[in-house]
Structure 1
């Protein structure tokens, strides 16, 4: 069960610590964070956005369980069954179940491309046993979990954008940003340890605001929150957002993604050279014409 104090910012990711796993029911093993990443290009796949919507719609949520109440597992199962029973849903209850998310994610991570994360990272992320021998020699390491987190976010592994940063504020402790955090998250904003998490949530919400209006019914509670009822809030937040050229590092990306980024940068520079040459020639001809006394 996830508590709010299990959630923290890890550089450009959000880390979640699970106290118990399928293979560690006593909770005695090392509690390593599982990294989740933003997807600035696809609102439907952005976990940061999903967390933001949930927290904004529950402004009085206080420290403790992320999902209050009891029998969360049963509630999730019932809600999933209700979703799959909807007339507009193309798949049926016989095809998907509560374990389908984990199975599908593991399959996508291992076989969704020819250059995915290691199978050990996938096993550890899913909480599956490696067996008595492998568990003695193969352990968790942040780099493996981080690249897996980017894959799970739906970022394209064969493109320079795999290293994209989450939408974030140039100055996260800006007085205006802090004021908005206090208004939107009146209870959780009192917890200093969550400030960076709330800033990531707010930045993703502002970044995807336009997409949300197309994806979610107007009757959704998110549109009755301060973020959307205050018409000046989203534009003000967007003006302070960046997703690149930042001091925030992109953690543990594969070496070839760095090459993709350099190739993309070189291509952009080469395209700009043509315009610079044309402007230079035009300026030179203009100067020569004026010197010769010709009208230009």
Structure 2
């Protein structure tokens, strides 16, 4: 949509879904309670329905993860579009979502979308839009994490994230830990829990010192010189997500979208900086890759298997190339067999092709 309100609406929706938050809680998010930590966004709430005292608990953050494989529903990309379009939001310690009453703003947008797609919702999902509301976001997210996947996060972590009471006894003995919330956050982002892709890193800038300096100069364009390192970290992550998905945005955004008027779109950095935005997996990680968190054991095993398959796929080519190089060196020195070397090289290439076919069958 080209309506500026939809930039806000998409960021609010994806963040509320990922957080499993009540809309009034999402509306209370403040800039000073948002930061980037490693491979995810962390948010602290000063007050929820279950904690009315208004004291920020720095030991119990909500973790929000990128989904670089599905940019349309990625909360980090949605937040990036919102903050890069309205960078003034980060210049201070005010609310993350501005404009009067964010709840009323979002409800109007939400209802407008429901009415626009009423026929499709009824035919495809057999639902009446009168039964849907902002509460459906939180219920949908929790249901997806509990029973929409076959390897669900711990139910305690889901309940704590959704701020649901566990009862006096369980609340006394079953406490918050980051690992459970991280797993829940990855699941809520829509990453496939039955694939090694669940361990995908967020988009980040991979490169030498020159690239990193270019990134920092780009960050400077969106923040004040007095901005904290936490704000700079959030903007850096937003710019990485924006850069990685620049083609997707260019293909899908309407020509009149306010995102296209943002500084990020109008004045992009050097192409080498844009191209430095990458997504990696554990077996391709470098020293610059954010350490993956929220990864369950079965995904770690899938990653190990994927790394082995990749190594096996590369090995035949390396062997053929190495032998071919030795044969060329031998021929150049006058000790080669000429036609014999050629036959051996062709036999190796044929064997390589057969191995690659079998590996592709294993991967599929």
TM-score, L = length of structure 1: 0.90
Aligned equivalent of 1:90: 120
Give the Cα–Cα distance (whole angstroms) in 2 for the partners of residues 254 and 51 of structure 1. Answer: 26
Q: Does 1:2 align with 2:29?
A: yes
> Superposition pairs for residues 221-260 of structure 1, below 5 Å?
221-230=258-267, 233=269, 235-244=271-280, 245-247=285-287, 248-260=290-302
Q: How many residues align?
A: 294
Q: Does 1:35 align with 2:77?
A: no
Q: Which has the higher helix share?
A: 2
Give the Cα–Cα distance (whole angstroms) in 2 for the partners of residues 73 and 280 of structure 1. Answer: 64
Which secondary structure state, in structure 1, belongs to the residue aligned with residue 41 of structure 2? strand
Structure 1: tracts of 5 or more residues without a match: none
Which secondary structure state, in structure 1, belongs to the residue aligned with residue 130 of structure 2? coil
- Check whether the contact 1:60–1:187 (CA below 8 A) recurs between aligned residues: no
Change (3 A) 1:136 1:273: same
Give the Cα–Cα distance (whole angstroms) in 2 for the partners of residues 30 and 186 of structure 1. Answer: 27
| Aligned-pair CA distance for 1:258 | 1.4
Aligned match for 1:180, one of 210, 218, 237: 218
Aligned equivalent of 1:112: 148
Aligned equivalent of 1:74: 104
Give the Cα–Cα distance (whole angstroms) in 2 for the partners of residues 150 and 24 of structure 1. Answer: 24
The farther-off stretch of 86-95 and 264-273 is: 86-95
Aligned equivalent of 1:126: 162
Aligned equivalent of 2:52: 25
Change (3 A) 1:29 1:87: closer
TM-score, L = length of structure 2: 0.74
| Aligned-pair CA distance for 1:284 | 5.2
Which secondary structure state, in structure 2, belongs to the residue aligned with residue 15 of structure 1? strand
Change (3 A) 1:189 1:107: farther
Structure 2: tracts of 5 or more residues without a match: 1-27, 122-127, 343-364
Aligned equivalent of 1:197: 234
Give the Cα–Cα distance (whole angstroms) in 2 for the partners of residues 246 and 47 of structure 1. Answer: 25
Aligned equivalent of 2:178: 142
Give the Cα–Cα distance (whole angstroms) in 2 for the partners of residues 188 and 20 of structure 1. Answer: 30
Aligned equivalent of 2:303: 261
- Check whether the contact 1:228–1:234 (CA below 8 A) recurs between aligned residues: no
Aligned match for 2:335, one of 277, 291, 294: 291
**Cα shift readout 1:227-262 (whole Å, capped 9, x = no counterpart):** 2223x5273322322322233210131112111111
